[in-house]
Structure 1
Amino acid sequence: MGAIGDSIEAALQGAQTRPLPKSAAARVRVILRAEKGSTRAVADRLGCSQRQVERYLSGQAHRPTPRLAAAIEREARRSWQPGIRQRVIRQAARAGITIETRARFGFTAAAGSTDDPRMRRITEQLDPADAAQLLAAHAAGADEAQLQALLGQGLGYSYFRAQDTRAHGLDVAITDIDYLDVEL
């Protein structure tokens, strides 16, 4: 993933109420539950064979390779406590989310204005509609470029255009994200 997707994931995982299981077999069962019992779908998500998934479920395999261990942890974290994740996403879509970032912002604006990109540190509450759109795109598996475009649109509306009270027609593009923190 990228900086935006990782920050959203970290915020969603921070809302969890119970710790993720420790063993690889228990984590594979979490993913299996999310995939409604399909070991083939679990294998596709992990990038391994269906037989390897079955070995973990039956207890024949215990220690995954480092690559597989990272994939199991990543996918189990995404599948852990789905009800809480959905509740947090619904609340964030209603109330908006807070973004703190240091990134390079560039603009397309009217002739005669300075539109050179430069680093800015911004802490801003995204509009609920923009927050819902960003979270929905993340949940749908959007890539980093799409998330950057949506975040630029949201920050352009809330911060640079002040909810469309000034700088009409200003489009914001985000590049070179130094850090990004999402608070749901």
Structure 2
Amino acid sequence: MSMFVDGLDKAVQRAFTRPIPKSAGAQVRYLVKQRKGSTKAVAELLGITQRTVERYVKDQIKMPRRDLAARLEAEVTRRWQPQVRARARQRAATTGGIVIDTRARLGYTAPIGSTDQDRIRHLTVALPPQYAALLFDAQEQGAGEQQLQEIAAEALREVYFQDSGRRAGSLEEVRFTDIEHLDFDL
């Protein structure tokens, strides 16, 4: 399970203006249309035969197996409303920013004499657009969970702990571990 990638995807999906198709036939037809009419490409994508894809397209099969239904919904969701998805990401990266809601163990490295012990915190923090852009760019380039987690930790250091430079100027590093809950919103 990929908490950061899934969380960013769900945040963008909330911007969709229409729901994804519900029936298996409509979902398969959408994928075939996305693949420029190639039932063979959709069959390879879903791990089923080309003939099975053709039967879904013609509504000869209506109820897919549970595992196939999950793969089908995931593939349609991944490709659904690409322009709306791009606009939502662009808006977050340029003007709107992104809100992170997390319950995790947070601590920091600071000079001697401060209370830098890690502890579980529940934070809901609005991050500025530059961090939304960093998160989305890293996600597009295939960054792993660790890299996305480091970007989020840097953002929390800047916005939450240092209050955009107004306090804790000597704070060096924020530790963001043991994530129990993570959610993003645009």
TM-score interval for Structure 1 and Structure 2 normalised by the shorter chain? 0.7 to 0.9
Amino acid at match of 1:74: A
Looking at structure 1, the residues matched to 151 and 122 of structure 2 have their Cα atoms a distance apart, in angstroms, of: 18
User: Residue 69 of structure 1 aligns with which residue?
Assistant: 69
Whole-Å separation in 1 of the counterparts to 2:2 and 2:76: 18
Cα distance in structure 2, aligned partners of 1:76 and 1:100: 27
Could you say if the C-alpha distance between residues 89 and 110 of structure 1 is closer, same or farther in structure 2, counting changes exceeding 3 Å?
same
Specify whether residues 56 and 144 from structure 1 end up closer, same or farther in structure 2 by C-alpha distance, changes over 3 A only: farther
Q: 1:6 corresponds to which residue?
A: 6
- Give the structure-1-normalised TM-score: 0.82
Are the structure 2 counterparts of residues 58 and 146 from structure 1 closer, same or farther at C-alpha, using a change threshold of 3 Å?
farther
Identical columns (%): 44
What secondary structure does 2:22 align onto?
coil
Select between 153-162 and 86-95 the one with higher mean Cα deviation: 153-162
Matched, 1:18 2:14: no
In structure 2, relative to structure 1, the CA distance for the partners of 1:34 and 1:173 (3 Å cut) is farther
> What is the CA deviation profile of residues 102-141 of structure 1, one whole-angstrom value per residue up to 9, with x for unaligned ones?
1111334445655432111112111211111112233444
Aligned residues: 183
Deviations 1:40-89, CA, capped at 9 Å, x for gaps: 5544543x135244443344433221111111112211211111111111
Q: 1:123: which partner in 2?
A: 124
Tell me what 1:163 maps to.
164
* Higher Cα radius of gyration: 2
CA distance in 1, matches of 2:164, 2:36: 43
When residues 35 and 162 of structure 1 are mapped into structure 2, their CA distance, relative to the original with a 3 A threshold, is farther
Matches within 5 A, 1:106-145: 106-110=107-111, 113-145=114-146
- Compared CA separation, residues 58 and 119, structure 1 to 2 (3 A): same
Identify if the C-alpha distance between structure 1 residues 158 and 41 changes in structure 2 by more than 3 Å, giving closer, same or farther: farther
Aligned-residue RMSD, C-alpha: 2.6
Bigger shift: 6-15 or 70-79?
Answer: 6-15
Deviating more after overlay: 93-102 vs 32-41: 32-41
2:31 counterpart of 1:31: yes
Judged with a 3 Å threshold, the aligned counterparts in structure 2 of structure 1 residues 81 and 154 are, in CA distance, closer, same or farther, namely same
Long gaps (5+) in structure 1: none
Q: 2:111 touches 2:170 (CA, 8 Å); kept in 1? A: no
Equivalents in 2 of 1:178, 1:24: separation in Å? 34
How far 1:35 sits from its partner (Å)? Answer: 4.4
* C-alpha distance in structure 2 between counterparts of 1:66 and 1:72, whole Å: 10
User: What TM-score results when the alignment is normalised by the length of structure 2?
Assistant: 0.81
C-alpha distance in 1 between matches for 2:31 and 2:107 = 40
